[in-house]
Each structure stands twice: as C-alpha cells, then as structure tokens.
C-alpha cells in the first residue's frame, strides 16, 4: 500500500512541477531577414551590421548579445540624437522581441556594432554573426558586406 501512495505522490509532484516550467521561445522562432553591412576602411574603425529580427513564436525572446569571429567586441548599440541635434551611440542592453513582432537594426537606430575588427570588411565577402538569446538559444546569419556607401540590403 505504501508503495502505491508514494508512487502516486511522486507522479502528482512531477505533474505539478512540469506545469510550472516556463515556456521558452527557441531559435526556430527567430527569423532574420535582410542582413547586410558596409565595407570598412581598414580595421581601425568599427564596422556595423544591420538586419530585421522577427519573433514568429508565441513567447517573447530576449536578445542578450552577439558573437562573430570578425570582431572581438560585437554589441548591439543604439544611436540617439539629443535636442541640440548631437548624436551619440551607447550599448542597448537586452532587447525583448514580443511574439509576432520584429526589431530593425538599421543605420541611425539600433545596430550591431562590430568593434575591434580582426580583419578588414571587404566588399563582396560575408561573415557569420551569431545572435545570443537569454534562454541559451543562438541564431547564426551570414552577413554580406556591401560597398562602403551602401544604404541598405538592396544596394
């Protein structure tokens, strides 16, 4: 009799425990579109990458970082302009993308800043950029390097 009671109790605890596990959006819920970057002048100045990141899942996803072999310090930065018209950039921190929503990494706003380049960004080349999410998920996109005067992925 004790054996059945303990088994029933254990089953009830496991069932309740399973119900309390938070739902996590995985990398399969993240779609990256229109990735592009501009060629650099040497390696002394940072590069940048742009794209649209869309959450197709039912739960929010939180972008917490980037990694690429092209740069030792890749970060999401945000450009802000004050009342005097002076622009500045700073790290954006974590970015939450709601279900069904997207964020644009674009010139003049949020963008992937590629600091401490390991090689020049050469027009016609590509590089891998991995997006890191708070649930441990990763999404890697191959980013094409366009001309130095490019204004978007269609250039």
Q: Where are the domains of the chain?
A: 8-146
**CATH of range 8-146; options 3.40.50.720, 2.60.40.1890, 1.10.1750.10, 3.40.109.40:** 2.60.40.1890
Whether residue 155 has pLDDT greater than 90: no
Alpha carbons within 13 A on the beta-carbon side of 7: 4
For residue 117, the model assigns a pLDDT of 97
Q: Pairing state of beta strands 126-133 and 95-97? A: unpaired
- Residue 107 and residue 129: Cα distance in Å, rounded? 17
The residue with greater pLDDT, 86 or 52, is: 52
- CA 94 to chain centroid, in Å, comes to 9
The count of other CB atoms within 10 Å of the CB of residue 52 is: 15
Beta bridge partners of 128: 142
- CA 44 to chain centroid, in Å, comes to 24
């Amino acid at each position: 009799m004790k054996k059945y009671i303990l088994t029933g109790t254990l089953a009830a605890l496991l069932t309740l425990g399973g119900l309390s596990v938070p739902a996590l959006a995985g990398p399969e819920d993240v779609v990256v579109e229109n990735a592009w970057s501009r060629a650099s002048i040497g390696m002394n100045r940072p590069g940048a990458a742009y794209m649209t990141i869309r959450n197709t899942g039912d739960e929010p996803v939180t972008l917490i970082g980037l990694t690429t072999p092209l740069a030792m310090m890749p970060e999401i930065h945000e450009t802000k302009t004050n009342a005097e018209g002076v622009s500045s950039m700073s790290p954006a921190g974590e970015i939450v993308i709601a279900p069904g929503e997207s964020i644009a990494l674009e010139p003049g706003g949020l963008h992937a800043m590629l600091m401490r380049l390991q090689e020049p960004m050469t027009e016609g080349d590509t590089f891998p950029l991995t997006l890191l999410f708070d649930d441990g998920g990763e999404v890697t996109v191959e980013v094409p390097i366009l001309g130095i005067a490019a204004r978007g992925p269609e250039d």
